[in-house]
C-alpha cells in the first residue's frame, strides 16, 4: 500500500464514491447502474467504511467520544535581521 494511502484517505475516497454514485442515480444522470444496484453499491461502500473503522479502532472504540479539538495560537512571523552596514 502506498504511504499516502492511510485509513483517512480510504475514507475520503469511499465518501466521494458514495456521493458520486448516489447523486448520479438520484438525479438520473446516468442509467449506468440502475437504482437497485446503485443502492447496493453505496451500502457496500458504507459497510466497508464501518469495517475499516472496526479494524483500525476496535469495536468498542467506535462509540468512544471524540477528543476535543485544540486550536493552537498562530506563530508570529520571524522578522529578518537588519541589513549589515558596510563602510
Q: What is the pLDDT of residues 4-58, one digit of tens each?
A: 667 788 888 898 998 888 888 777 766 677 778 888 888 999 999 888 888 887 8
Domain edges within the chain: 7-63
Q: What is the pLDDT of residues 45-60, one digit of tens each?
A: 999 988 888 888 787 7
Other Cβ atoms less than 10 A from the Cβ of 21: the count is 19
Which of these, 50, 80, 75, 77, lies nearest to 63 by C-alpha position?
50
Amino acid at each position: 500500500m502506498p504511504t499516502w494511502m492511510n485509513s483517512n484517505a480510504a475514507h475520503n475516497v469511499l465518501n466521494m464514491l458514495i456521493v458520486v454514485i448516489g447523486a448520479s442515480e438520484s438525479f438520473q444522470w446516468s442509467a449506468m447502474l440502475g437504482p437497485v444496484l446503485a443502492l447496493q453499491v453505496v451500502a457496500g461502500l458504507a459497510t466497508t467504511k464501518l469495517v475499516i473503522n472496526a479494524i483500525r479502532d476496535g469495536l468498542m472504540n467506535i462509540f468512544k467520544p471524540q477528543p476535543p479539538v485544540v486550536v493552537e495560537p498562530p506563530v508570529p512571523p520571524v522578522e529578518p535581521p537588519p541589513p549589515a552596514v558596510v563602510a
